[in-house]
Structure 1
Amino acid sequence: MSDENEPGHGNSPAAWVAVIIMLVGIAGGTLAFWFDQPVLVFASVGVVVLGLIAGLVLAKLGYGVNGTRYAPKSHS
């Protein structure tokens, strides 16, 4: 069932950075919502958008799954 040409399901530095930034934004937004701080909720939405942009920029710089600077690790 394993395909040798499998791209890695986003297991790249660009994907990791994007997901970590977005998780921080979501966690901060959840806390801000819980404490009824609407300004911080919207700021957290901005952090999530920045995470998306950071992931796209890193992918364009070659750190994505098919990028020139990404070397996939073997799954042994």
Structure 2
Amino acid sequence: MSHGSSPAAWTAVIVSLVGFAVGSIALIPGPNWTLFAIGCVLAVGALPLGKILSMAGLGADREKQH
């Protein structure tokens, strides 16, 4: 059982984590709203990215899971 461990899932998680990190760092020294918005776009954009990569064949194969 792969538990979703696939290139699509890993890419989505890493992009989401980078987005959260960028958004968090943007708020530390003084609110940099442009950088915060970029972080938000990255974090939210990770979901469609993972879905697109999964549809491209990089996702976990559900037929082989038991």
Q: Could you state the TM-score of these two structures normalised by the residue count of structure 1?
A: 0.71
Partner residue in 2 for 1:29 = 23
Higher relative contact order (CA 8 A, sep 6+): 2
1:65 is displaced (CA, Å) by 0.8
2:34 & 2:53 partners in 1: Cα distance?
Answer: 29
The number of residue pairs the alignment matches comes to: 61
Partner residue in 2 for 1:74 = none
Runs of 4+ in 1 over 6 A off after TM superposition: none
From 6, 11, 15, give the equivalent of 1:17.
11
Greater share of residues in helix = 2
Over aligned residue pairs, what C-alpha RMSD do you find?
1.4
1:25 is displaced (CA, Å) by 0.7
Structure 1 alignment gaps of length 5 or more: 1-5, 68-76
| 2:60 counterpart of 1:65 | yes
Partner residue in 2 for 1:49 = 44
Structure 2 alignment gaps of length 5 or more: none
Larger Rg: 1
Q: Could you state the TM-score of these two structures normalised by the residue count of structure 2?
A: 0.80
2:21 & 2:52 partners in 1: Cα distance?
Answer: 23
